[in-house]
Structure 1
């Protein structure tokens, strides 16, 4: 069934369901945790449809292990299916957001001591803490709404943010205790959050009703509240709330969405680079003066040119953006055009890396040398070298990888470094 028809059906389903509801990287991404004598730096890859997380060595590009993050699936499903409203959302997530699949892993972060992994589970509407030694769930925090989404970890590791997709809020969790300690307001469909490098501010965006078929500019207001917010990380009060689409229009850039997708901050945190719904590229935005500086327009594939907006994957023309630690290059996931790109920050000149099937996230290695791009359609992670602007490897992972995060794991919990297991070896790309 075409995406436009699914959006229409989902809009009706959600409207019906609602009637039953009772009234270390300085370049703006998550700072990679430092290694300790007892820990090692690894890349965690969330396999959304499979319900697993792969552990990848970020230097040898080998898979060190895999974690099952839905051991309680049958229990959670029993709870969901006995509640008509929750069951309706569960099925809606499967047939639109999950493209016919349940969504079991969205985001993940680790504790500083490498002993715990924290995972948001969209279809199960919760976030869990998993003991990396026993692989057992040690705590669980349900969402108030019906879907969990992106997360963020404070630089000191004491606070975990979880976007509650249908509750218009972000939950603040103490991961050491597995309990909610605060929250802050968001718009419709809370999405991406990032902490400032000093941990005093939170940059947050909501993306509106991506399930809605009203994707044309004339119907834009029907997408709901889509805000870019700056939040005080101590009081959780909203310091600023900006409508990016309106600001763009005020500066002569018409018919752009207000929905901010992934973002990347410059090292001085004075400039932010924003991906927007339906934009094949990104916006360079001056945070101090609250105005757009430039828009980078990247290529569309022939398939993307001939794809109606209503059939875009969750309104995502591009979904995945990172910046190297020096702040000189950006790494872009060109979702609807099936490529990754490295873009010069000064000139916006770019190099494309084709044949990346449905890329949906980009993140840096802890040393900032590589950008990892998830190829969700190929079940691979593509490794790009920032300095040489070349593809160096493709790593086989589980079913439908999306979010990836650098973290640490206790050395006793993984196998011998550089020893690929039965899952398969990396695909070397040589000098490509």
Structure 2
């Protein structure tokens, strides 16, 4: 039986649609068109929707359903695929329909990595139509990234230990590369020349068996040939991470670490390990109680590069840390069990958006003061957040926020 399926929309496009797909993904808006809107996309993992938040006013503009085909997808699964779906669902404590989300340069095409469904899908937000969906290897679709020029969409196929590259226009798989155990995050360099991929290891095993979790790798991959050009090995699973603008400094959270590390890529070594304070709630947990082995899960860098936003998942806080000396500028505390789970810097570089997964909200933290300036209700179990520019027509087509 074929492993991959596409929606009929993708398989039977009309000549007019094919011509549109052949156009450059990053085409400039037509003269006189309304200005695009700065938005934050929030993947509501359990409710299977994406919330659009105004990037400046923090108003919830509405949401878009990214699992309209859920029942059909479940019905189409083979016995093995359904067993994998149920296993991943049990490990993660429920359905996780949205793992990652990106908005194309046209401001209306939405790409979604649909975690437990183990696929990627594209939607036209204006018309509400699914353009295509593609099943990945293994049983879980993880972090994804869209290349700067909009021509490549890379997604980690977690249990298959590969990252797959798709053509964003059609959903066709154009290549893949091997990774460490349980590949997780993907990031393109600003010039689009390389992909950084990190792996977290088998999270279902207890900490006492960490040696059996597999290989924890940071890989630098040529985005055109998909050949791995350099590999760095880490002692623990690599959680949210980023490469600083200098191209050499790598900041990363690690499994079980209540903080983060600063790593020198040229020297190939950790140069600083920053241990952050435990909250009372954090102290009460054993490492095997940490969500998917994560103590801190969420890391972002301010626009000027002077502060890091360190999301304290088990500690229910967000810390702002100075990059100059790695001192803590301030900590903002949330109610116990809010589960802050991701951090993304605003388009203007001044704020850190933090998803509060169990509070169904996004917290907006000011880098300058380390204080919360807004809290925005969203869907159920928000996780990944990405910034983008939305076409006004796409905003108008959203389901209004409740």
Report the equivalent of 1:70.
Answer: 67
Taking structure 1 as reference, are residues 66 and 422 closer, same or farther at Cα in structure 2, changes over 3 Å only?
A: closer
Superposed displacement of residue 144, structure 1: 1.5
Structure 2 residue 204 is matched with structure 1 residue 211: yes
Instruction: Tell me, in whole angstroms, the C-alpha distance in 1 between the residues paired with 2:278 and 2:83.
Output: 35
- 1:367 is paired with a residue whose SS is coil
TM-score (ref. length: structure 2): 0.88
Instruction: Tell me, in whole angstroms, the C-alpha distance in 2 between the residues paired with 1:102 and 1:158.
Output: 30
Superposed displacement of residue 413, structure 1: 2.2
Instruction: Tell me, in whole angstroms, the C-alpha distance in 1 between the residues paired with 2:378 and 2:203.
Output: 27
- 1:123 is paired with a residue whose SS is helix
Alignment match of 1:406 (pick from 387, 394, 398): 387
Structure 2 residue 219 is matched with structure 1 residue 225: no
Cα-to-partner distance string for 1:60-111 (whole Å, 9 max, x where unaligned)? 111111100000011111123xx332222211222221x2x21110101111
Q: What is the number of residues matched between the two proteins?
A: 370
Structure 2 residue 108 is matched with structure 1 residue 115: yes
Report the equivalent of 1:381.
Answer: 362
Cα-to-partner distance string for 1:278-320 (whole Å, 9 max, x where unaligned)? 0011110011111111111111112222211111100001111
Structure 2 residue 168 is matched with structure 1 residue 175: yes
Superposed displacement of residue 211, structure 1: 1.0
In the alignment, is the contact (CA less than 8 A) between 2:219 and 2:232 conserved in 1?
yes
Instruction: Tell me, in whole angstroms, the C-alpha distance in 2 between the residues paired with 1:225 and 1:389.
Output: 35
Superposed displacement of residue 389, structure 1: 2.5
Report the equivalent of 2:247.
Answer: 269
Instruction: Tell me, in whole angstroms, the C-alpha distance in 2 between the residues paired with 1:201 and 1:95.
Output: 35
Provide the alpha-carbon RMSD of the alignment.
1.9
Superposed displacement of residue 422, structure 1: 4.9
Taking structure 1 as reference, are residues 260 and 422 closer, same or farther at Cα in structure 2, changes over 3 Å only?
A: closer
In the alignment, is the contact (CA less than 8 A) between 1:163 and 1:191 conserved in 2?
yes
In the alignment, is the contact (CA less than 8 A) between 2:51 and 2:62 conserved in 1?
yes
In the alignment, is the contact (CA less than 8 A) between 2:37 and 2:54 conserved in 1?
no
Structure 2 residue 225 is matched with structure 1 residue 235: yes
Structure 2 residue 38 is matched with structure 1 residue 41: yes
Written as runs of structure 1 = structure 2, the 5 A alignment for 1:252-331 is 257=236, 259-331=237-309
Structure 2 residue 348 is matched with structure 1 residue 367: yes
Alignment match of 1:190 (pick from 183, 188, 207): 183
Taking structure 1 as reference, are residues 305 and 327 closer, same or farther at Cα in structure 2, changes over 3 Å only?
A: same
Structure 2 residue 140 is matched with structure 1 residue 147: yes
Superposed displacement of residue 416, structure 1: 11
Report the equivalent of 2:5.
Answer: none
Report the equivalent of 1:84.
Answer: 79
In the alignment, is the contact (CA less than 8 A) between 1:267 and 1:326 conserved in 2?
no
Written as runs of structure 1 = structure 2, the 5 A alignment for 1:123-162 is 123-162=116-155
- 2:252 is paired with a residue whose SS is strand
- 1:204 is paired with a residue whose SS is strand
In the alignment, is the contact (CA less than 8 A) between 2:251 and 2:262 conserved in 1?
yes
In the alignment, is the contact (CA less than 8 A) between 1:267 and 1:325 conserved in 2?
no
Cα-to-partner distance string for 1:169-188 (whole Å, 9 max, x where unaligned)? 00111102221111111122
Structure 1: tracts of 5 or more residues without a match: 1-32, 246-256, 424-432
Instruction: Tell me, in whole angstroms, the C-alpha distance in 2 between the residues paired with 1:42 and 1:269.
Output: 27
In the alignment, is the contact (CA less than 8 A) between 1:35 and 1:408 conserved in 2?
no
In the alignment, is the contact (CA less than 8 A) between 1:261 and 1:319 conserved in 2?
yes
